Amino acid sequence: MKADVADLVEGVLRGERRAVARLISLVEDGGPELGGVMDRLYPHTGRAYTVGITGAPGAGKSTLTERLITRARSDGLVVGVLAVDPSSPFSGGALLGDRVRMQSHATDDGVFIRSMATRGHLGGLALATPEAVRVLDAAGSDVVIVETVGVGQAEVEVTDACDTTVVVLTPGFGDHVQAAKAGLLETADVFVLNKSDQQGARQALRELRQMLELGDGERKPDIVQTSATTGEGIDELWTAIGKHRAYQEEKGLLEQRRRRRIARELRAIVAERFRSRIDDTAGEVFDDLVARVQRRELDPYAAADALVDLLSEVPGDRR
Ligand SMILES: Nc1nc2c(ncn2[C@@H]2O[C@H](COP(=O)(O)OP(=O)(O)OP(=O)(O)O)[C@@H](O)[C@H]2O)c(=O)[nH]1
Ligand SMILES: [Mg+2]
């Protein structure tokens, strides 16, 4: 490992915010310098409880996050925040507003706020997100909040990486129906009906309750009404998150959930390894196999078997 990366890891372990920022940028870029980071970092992770906050653009996720930071800080907890934008190849930009909005925590050493987009990481956000969360974890966070924009598959992947998933809805027209379509009803551990100060809140709450009645999950997610701009309902949201955590811990579900997550991550890493090895080490063989399949000399499965055998012989590398 390069000396400067080793220094960065040491800085992260001391909770230095500059080091946290730089290491998360490295994760985002997915550069070769990352090699050897996780083996140093990983033993220092596993302490943080992770909370995913997702919902449609403008639903109030950042405003809620800001409030939750303040709430957590009042308990003396160290908080990490990762704002992930699956739709953008750039961090900054749209998320810059979030950083500005969270300026009130800018000088607080107990708060780390970073944003991340897809950029260079070959495994995409599904691999980059858990790595970035581990950086915040290793830096000493008790709680890591992951904010994701949108209500699609990529977001579900990101929030899957969390211990408690909070889905933010608004009284807006058909918002909750869209969430149902996107499969968010199944992924939500806690629902927030934000902007409860706005018209239609009561109607939306009723419809959401009805929708959840139809669900067959073992545990019905709590619904919390908030008005993030005034801070109303934030204590209730914090309590609901704590309740879900306690429920999972009592039933051994948290360990199960984390194990599933690790299994998924390992699969993704292996798949990504194989993909990149095709390009890096077996390009010619690959082209040749494609040609032979096209000439009907081999069927695609036989070709894939040959490729897997060949790729398995390549000595291990770290990305
Ligand atoms: N009336 C009202 N406005 C709110 C509330 N919460 C947030 N807003 C406003 O809604 C707008 C969007 O809030 P954000 O917190 O940036 O929403 P977001 O979900 O993080 O947005 P993106 O990250 O762009 O998807 C801002 O103008 C907020 O001030 C609320 O409870 N009531
Ligand atoms: Mg936001």
Q: For residue 197, what is the domain's CATH number? A: 3.40.50.300
Cβ 192 under 6 angstroms from ligand 1 = no
Answer for the pair 224, 240: CB distance below 8 angstroms, yes or no.
Answer: yes
Residue 104 pLDDT? 74
Residue 226 pLDDT? 97
* Mean model confidence pLDDT for the chain: 84
Q: d(Cα 244, Cα 251) in Å, to the nearest integer?
A: 11
Asked if residue 227 has pLDDT above 70, the reply is: yes
Asked if residue 93 has pLDDT above 50, the reply is: no
Asked if residue 154 has pLDDT above 60, the reply is: no
Residue 130 shares a structural domain with residue 267: no
Residue 282 shares a structural domain with residue 186: no
Residue 242 shares a structural domain with residue 284: no
Whether residue 100 is contained in a domain is answered as yes
Whose C-alpha lies nearest to ligand 1, atom 1? 195
Residue 158 structural domain:
46-251
Other beta carbons less than 10 A from residue 30's beta carbon: 19
Residue 191 pLDDT? 93
Retrieve residue 227's tokens.
């008005």
Whether residue 154 is contained in a domain is answered as yes
Residue 89 shares a structural domain with residue 185: yes
What are the φ/ψ torsions at residue 165 (nearest 5 degrees)?
-105, 120
Q: d(Cα 281, Cα 283) in Å, to the nearest integer?
A: 6
Residue 88 shares a structural domain with residue 155: yes
Residue 125 shares a structural domain with residue 272: no
Residue 223 shares a structural domain with residue 123: yes
Q: d(Cα 126, Cα 98) in Å, to the nearest integer?
A: 22
Retrieve residue 192's tokens.
């927030």
Q: What is the largest CA-CA distance in the chain?
A: 69
Residue 142 shares a structural domain with residue 69: yes
Give the chain's count of helices (H) and strands (E): 14, 7
Residue from 62, 148, 205 whose mutation best tests the ligand 1 pocket (most atoms within 8 A of CB): 62
CA 21 / ligand 1 centre spacing (Å): 25
Residue 201 shares a structural domain with residue 158: yes
172-191 pLDDT, tens digit per residue, is: 756 666 666 666 677 889 99
Count up the domains in the chain and report the number: 2
Instruction: Record the pTM.
Output: 0.89
Cβ 62 under 6 angstroms from ligand 1 = yes
Instruction: Please give the C-alpha separations between residue 197 and each of 57, 178, 226, 232, in angstroms, as whole numbers.
Output: 18, 21, 8, 9
Other beta carbons less than 10 A from residue 80's beta carbon: 28
